[in-house]
Structure 1
């Protein structure tokens, strides 16, 4: 199953405006933000294996995280895939 997990942009990587550091469930990873346009720290995005797929607001992020946590193993698998990803 492929899931988009909400993550918060914590920084834009220096010299790479197409990459940002995102925090998802305590995991920080660089992701590509090229598909969603301009982002700034504090923005929320849906992340799938190293790519931001869309921007969302904080309320939608919280609701989506609550739903995903209820999925159990599928959510754990997606977090594991994110932790293992490296697009740099």
Structure 2
């Protein structure tokens, strides 16, 4: 089992013959390989696991998945009694 995070493709480019993209994950942008999602284009939502887009999803499914992940984080925070650490700056 893997955990895939949905994000929106902002930019697509060729990097030494490999299709790469800049993907936005709710304000955090990362480089992602599009080798497994050859039809992904700007505006497409993709599920990303360890830097690879593994499937395309529509916006509704991406939002649904993000809501589930947010709920999981909220449950963990409630259990710990403190907020989870944010991204490193």
TM-score range, shorter chain: 0.7 to 0.9
Match of 2:56 in 1: 55
| Count of residue pairs the alignment pairs up | 77
Unaligned runs of 5+ in 1: 84-88
Matching of residue 33 in structure 1 with residue 34 in structure 2: yes
Q: Normalising to structure 2: TM-score of the pair?
A: 0.74
Q: Which structure's residues are more often strand, by fraction?
A: 2
Q: Which has the higher contact order (CA 8 A, sep 6+)?
A: 1
Structure 2: 5+ residue stretches without partners = 77-83
Runs (4+) of structure 1 moved beyond 2 Å?
none
What residue in structure 1 maps to residue 66 of structure 2? 65
- Per-residue deviation, 1:5: 0.7
2:25 matched to 1:21? Answer: no
